[in-house]
A and B are shown apart, each in its own frame.
Chain A
Amino acid sequence: GESVGLHLPTLSVQEGDNSIINCAYSNSASDYFIWYKQESGKGPQFIIDIRSNMDKRQGQRVTVLLNKTVKHLSLQIAATQPGDSAVYFCAENIRGAQKLVFGQGTRLTINP
């Protein structure tokens, strides 16, 4: 069925370290996978997406990796900063559907 889940609900990292947030998905009919960031008191904000026929995509300080063999998605944030503190959601765009299916989120906290 449709489901997008996360391995860990919370992640704590030292400022300046790299962060890796993981996500598992079960729907093979997704054509895009997306990461959103939600800061406290705000709505989710688009970070980056990756098409299902790609393995890797890089943005500014972020890299998304897609492993279709094990249905796993990850978001890597380089040199984590205090402003990266947020809940991160993975989502999938199911081909032919009219919605994004969101995971439950991982809370990233940054230790000084």
Chain B
Amino acid sequence: EAQVTQNPRYLITVTGKKLTVTCSQNMNHEYMSWYRQDPGLGLRQIYYSMNVEVTDKGDVPEGYKVSRKEKRNFPLILESPSPNQTSLYFCASSLARGNTEAFFGQGTRLTVV
């Protein structure tokens, strides 16, 4: 089954404790991205990757890092989480840059206290 898998689904952590949210897709997609979803603000792009070892900032990259060492994986790293990073996070993949059909993961609800 074609899918994007994120882990964990839920996470509560404390300010400053480094965490990683994993994302994996099994569709051999080139393009992957991370979004955060906040009430009233919709989905905003954090980082994206056009292929292995090619990543770039989206609209709200501050406080986040990503890596793309393999085509299937695109982890999101919060080196020092803060309460304003409490949000619902989605990983998405699509066949290539500019492709309108993005496949989203189930989401990771992160709470930073």
- Interface size range of chain A in the complex: 10 to 19
Q: Which residues of B contact A89 (CB under 8 A)?
A: 42-43
Interface residues of A in 23-63 (CB under 8 A from B): 31-32, 34, 41-46, 49
Give the nearest-CB partner of A51 in chain B: B100
**Inter-chain contact count A-B, CB under 8 Å?**
53
Interface residues of B, CB < 8 Å — how many? Answer: 27
> Which A residues are CB-close (under 8 A) to B100?
32, 34, 46, 49, 93, 100
Interface of B is mostly: strand
Query: Do B101 and A49 touch across chains, with their CB atoms under 8 A apart?
Result: yes
Contacts known (A43-B106, A43-B107); A105 close to B42, Cβ less than 8 A? yes
**B interface with A by C-beta (< 8 Å):** 4, 31, 33, 35, 40-45, 48, 50, 56, 58-59, 90, 92, 97-98, 100-107
Q: Which residues of A contact B (CB under 8 A)?
A: 31-32, 34, 41-46, 49, 89, 93, 98-100, 102-105
